[in-house]
Chain A
Amino acid sequence: MSVLHASSSATQTAVGIRWEKRGLIFRPSDHALPFDHCEFAQSPQAVSLDDRVRIFFSTRTRDSSVGKFVSHICYVDFDHDLQRVLGVSKQPVIDQGGLGCFDEHGIFPLSPLRMGDQIYGYTCGWSRRVSVSVETGIGLAISENNGRSFRRIGTGPILSATLNEPCLVGDAFVLHCEGKFVMWYIYGRPWQRFSAGAPPDRIYKIAMATSDDGIRWTKRNEQPLVEDMLGPTECQALPTVMQVGGRYHLYFCFRHASDFRDHPDRGYRLGYAWSENLTQWHRNDAAVGIQRSEETTAWDCQMMCYPNVFQHRGRTFLLYNGNHFGREGFGVAVGTMEGSDIVIRVNEASQQAIASHLNACDQDFSTRLSERVDVSAYAKKLNEQATTIEAWRGDRLIGLLAAYVETQTLESPISRTAKSFISNVSVLRESRRRGVAKRLMARLLRELDRRLAGSDVQTCEIELEVARDSPSALGLYAQCGFHVIDDNQTTIRMRRSTQVAPSVSDHNTKRS
């Protein structure tokens, strides 16, 4: 076995999406909207149609009987590049809820999910209370005409308060992923009065639910989904999620619970978290990739809120509101994903491609690879005997993880352990610090899971050797579950040992 290893091929923290702001793209005051609205286009949420992008938003009328606002859902159509407005809705897409219903006093927002010929509109319905201002619930209305109008599936909500999510269930965002529906939403904790005489303030958190049909949901919240950055009274709202590059990227807005309307320091800004498995979420606001404008006259200098991420014709967009919760309208930013142009494949690279990649990385190995082995012979061996996990950009092999994989218990029939060895991990210099090595490793682990499921193997061991002077590589392997088993002058030997799942799980088959 070869004991070769390229150093510094790993990154500690993968970078998120970088957003380039295009500014305000929709001002309600410039358009003829129903009820002569001229202010507020809140919580824009897009559905990608074949010939356009339809963006739903909430606008307001004043309820003359009590002098309070009622939110309505309208839409605006844009061209493919979100540069030109094609038209606006002539009337709200859904009528008001009935007497005493959860959505009697407005819908804010509506989140669209395209389902074949239909669009599912997940609504956040509002109804007024006496001791506190409002209670909310999540409803479902379905459109058969691309979102021009929606019909409720019933008068009640599809998701509402439960034992430990006691109020203010709302802000649904739904994706169809891995064969099931996943919903991110928010729920409230008991209201608080932060100073005597002040009106009660809300506190809400992001949560998750799953469903087989998008209608009947099961809440999945044994612990908080997204860590608080502003302490236990942090308010987290409007989760929106996109799956890119093997990860789920969750954007949301967050603020302090009190004095948030007029104090920019306490008001809404955007937060970010990511997950690889939909279960564990890692909050990393540093990677949100977009900030409030510094220019003091900018429309989004004090506040950024109500984000919505979506993809249309291969491009990635982020819609959001700025100052005053979207009074002036909404804007857009265009995303570039670090590594989104990189594709991971297994056992496809030719001997020549491997050799050429290794030669390009040659001087980056802690000891030059060509000084230790015959590169073309090594490439031939990897090609013939190893499992190669490959990162491709176009037709160029930019990253390579090669492992000798054992899927039977030949060496250790009694302990039923299958031992694999990672011979090589290397990433081209210009493609470093983008999480490529981590993606390669994750793919190897999935590949092993898949191959070992259903076998007689009980324990899966993977070993590798890494140069002492490669702290970033050591960090990556530690993150991936490897621990040091041997430490000498120049190299460190690491091992990862896991129990094999007794049978093939749904999850593994779907991802393989």
Chain B
Amino acid sequence: MIAAQTSRRRYQWRKLGRVFDPTDYAQRHESWMSEFAQAPSVIVFDDYLRVFFSCRPKPDPRGQYKSYCTYLDVDREDPTRVIRVADHPILPLGELGMFDEFGTYPISVIRLGNTLRGYYAGWTRCESVPFNTAIGVAESSDKGTSFEKLGPGPVIPYTVDEPFVISGPKIRSFNGRFYLYYIAGRQWILDRGRPEPVYKIRLATSDDGLNWEKLGRDLIADQRGTEEAQASPDVVYSGGRYHMFFCHRSGRDYRNQTGGYRIGYAWSEDAIRWHRDDRRAGLETSDAGWDHQMVSYPHVVIVDGKTYLFYLGNDVGKQGFGVAELEGEL
């Protein structure tokens, strides 16, 4: 019964502070990085952690953004200490009419021998709704300094029950098989005349990472009604089971503290069937500062026996991301 008791424990995260504020670079990298540092994804190197993320230049006159993937390196001993910041995007936007013509956000990177492979969501612009997204794949042979797309189209196609807004990829490899956790749009709802997408966490598995088999069902039960939107399904294996940290928001009126993003938690014995238990997530907003309104888009990485959680602050990472360290283990 000891195991049952510990499994209900609420995780205690010690916030280490903000890692990166992209607005510090707005002058230098105006054309591609003025604000937003979103969806951190870490690859561990010998003496540093390479954190891939997406950033944006200022919006165009119509208020529309583009987003680019890039990276920064932090000290492996102290992940709040930035060693270097890339001075260029690592992945080009798509050609005319392609699914990723207007943005690449987020990216999730996995190591395959000497190659890094990145799964990223590409953004296109639509007429009746503001955007659509799909997941593409690219590889790097220079430790992530630059990526080359494996094809001009998406690697996860839209299907009958996943009609649009396929995004938020998190690539994992468990027991010799690839697992791609992602989100798929369910419906566009009109919230006071404005189209807002509802999306749910989904899973596909694959032997080669290119030909995918969709599981075809929602992984995480709704807690904020059928219009709940779920994002950033970040999965890590620790202590004999799988853990998922994700974020969720209300379907309508979510651009405020009540309806906005929160961090949720679920666990699983097999990486497929999940038990949601948000009370255990344990990361809340601060009383003041860069993350006092919102914490979202979690990413957990275990390195040198320490468990870190990278996350976005206010306005979905407009002023960057920070990191927290777990007391104990998952």
Contacts and interface: CB of A to CB of B under 8 A. Distances in A.
Count chain A CB atoms within 10 A of each CB in B153, B162, B165, B210 and give the residue with the most. Answer: B153
Contact of A102 (B124, B161, B163): B163
B119 to A, nearest CB: 12
Given A100-B129, A158-B159, A166 B151 contact: yes
Interface stretch (B183-191, B231-239, B302-310): B183-191
Interface string A98-120: 11111011000000000000000
B158 A129 contact: no
A155 interface: yes
Interface string A163-186: 111110000000000000000000
Interface of A: 66, 98-102, 104-105, 127-132, 135, 137, 140, 153-167, 188, 190-193, 200, 202, 215
B159 A167 contact: no
B163 to A, nearest CB: 3
Contacts, number: 133
A129 B96 contact: no
B223 to A, nearest CB: 24
A164 B151 contact: yes
A191 B96 contact: yes
Nearest to A153: B160
Interface in B151-208: 151-155, 157-165, 185, 187-188, 190, 195, 197
Interface stretch (B29-37, B97-105, B256-264): B97-105
B159 A157 contact: yes
B98 A98 contact: no
B95 interface: yes
B99 A166 contact: yes
B163 A101 contact: yes
Nearest to A192: B96
A158 B97 contact: no
Contact of A131 (B96, B137, B155): B96
Contacts of B152: 163-164, 166, 190
18 contacts: A98-B187, A98-B188, A100-B163, A100-B185, A131-B96, A131-B101, A154-B159, A154-B160, A156-B159, A156-B164, A157-B163, A163-B136, A163-B150, A164-B151, A165-B153, A190-B97, A200-B96, A200-B97
B128 A104 contact: yes
Contacts of B165: 100
Interface of B: 95-99, 101-102, 124-129, 132, 134, 136-137, 150-155, 157-165, 185, 187-188, 190, 195, 197, 210
Contacts of B134: 161
Nearest to A191: B97
B160 A127 contact: no
Contacts of B99: 161, 166-167
A106 B99 CA distance: 20
Contacts of B164: 100-102, 156
Contacts of B151: 162-164, 166
A99 B150 contact: no
A100 B185 CA distance: 10
A155 B134 CA distance: 16
Contacts of B97: 129, 131-132, 135, 167, 188, 190-191, 200, 202
A193 B96 CA distance: 9
B98 A167 contact: yes
Contacts of A155: 160-161, 163, 187
A159 B99 CA distance: 15
